[in-house]
Amino acid sequence: MIKTSYQVLNRDMIKYIAMLAMLLNHIAIIFMQQGELLTKILINIGYLTAITMCYFLVEGYNYTHSKKRYALRLGLFALISELPYCLALTEAFTGEKIIAFCGFNMMFTLLLCFLILLVNEKISNFYLKSFIIMILIFISTFCDWALFAPLFTLLFIWARDSKIKHKLAFIVSIILFGLFNYMGNIGSIPSDLNLLLTVGNMVGISIGGIMIVYLYNGTQGQKNAFSKWFFYWFYPIHLFILGVIRIVIR
């Protein structure tokens, strides 16, 4: 990989940016007045997190020392995160005041994406592989970032080891996410406003693509226990804190 002077971000830096964007997204969803400009901006910026995590999941898949331990970590933190996830987002997603089931959290989705990677590697029969992947994609409909996270994962599998394909993968992801949001609003809001909101929805994924394609230098950053576990623990801890604050102030 030929590095250029503007490739100043390592993997950990991009992940820290993604965690901050996710925090702002959740604050906007949980606490801020929906429909206001600042709320929409923070929510849209937060969309960069999912595609960034899917990218690094695919990139790191071949470098992990134990795929079994990797899957177990994702599964463990998916279980740990479920209560905080529902605690934080119940009111926004279901209208209930305290806590209710509001779907499976993003860690479950990333576990499904990891299983897609595993199936793609281990199963050689095209039809069997496609069938199992379709089942995993269907299961994702019960999770956060349903359908899109598996789609991002498949696009990055296709784009491996090709900078041009990586650009195309992000472009396709941006367009599909925009189309999904545009189609979902047809008939409910004027078409010019729908188009404007759709462009806004595409901003987060576009920022993620720019960071990875143009600013990422391909290095990990400092390799230590903090950087390894921070990205696992930040998700449930920040959701738990936001959930407690939501209940107290409501």
Among 25, 12, 99, 92, CA closest to 52:
12
Q: What is the pLDDT of residue 3?
A: 58
Residue type, 99: I
How many domains are there within the chain? 1
Whether residue 184 lies inside any domain: the answer is yes
Whether residue 2 lies inside any domain: the answer is no
Query: How crowded is the C-beta side of 118, counted as CA atoms within 13 Å?
Result: 15
Whether residue 4 lies inside any domain: the answer is no
Residuewise pLDDT in 10s, the chain (250 residues)? 455 678 999 999 999 999 999 999 999 999 999 999 999 999 999 999 999 999 999 999 988 889 999 999 999 999 999 999 999 999 999 999 999 999 999 999 999 999 999 999 999 999 999 999 999 999 999 999 999 999 999 999 999 889 999 999 999 999 999 999 999 999 889 999 999 999 999 999 999 999 999 999 999 877 777 877 899 999 999 999 999 999 999 7
Whether residue 6 lies inside any domain: the answer is no
DSSP string of 187-248, one letter each residue: TTB-HHHHHHHHHHHHHHHHHHHHIIIIIB-S-----SHHHHHHHHHHHHHHHHHHHHHHHH
Whether residue 30 lies inside any domain: the answer is yes
Phi and psi at residue 189, in whole multiples of 5°? -140, 160
CA angle 68, 58, 165 (to 5 degrees): 155
Stated as kind and residue range, the H or E segment containing 186 is: none
Q: What is the pLDDT of residue 2?
A: 52
Q: What is the pLDDT of residue 225?
A: 76
DSSP string of 94-144, one letter each residue: H--SS-----B-HHHHHHHHHHHHHHHHH---HHHHHHHHHHHHHHGGGBT
Q: What is the pLDDT of residue 211?
A: 97
Nearest-angstrom CA–CA distance, 9 and 73: 26
Length, in residues, of the chain? 250
Whether residue 194 lies inside any domain: the answer is yes
Q: What is the pLDDT of residue 107?
A: 98
Q: What is the DSSP letter of 143?
A: B
Whether residue 135 lies inside any domain: the answer is yes
Tokens of 79: 């279980």
Q: What does the CA dihedral 148, 58, 128, 147 come to, rounded to 10 degrees?
A: -10
Q: What is the pLDDT of residue 223?
A: 77
Residues contacting 185, CB < 8 A, separation 6+: 194, 197, 198
For residue 125, what are the domain limits? 11-244
How much is the pTM? 0.93
Nearest-angstrom CA–CA distance, 207 and 209: 5
Whether residue 17 lies inside any domain: the answer is yes
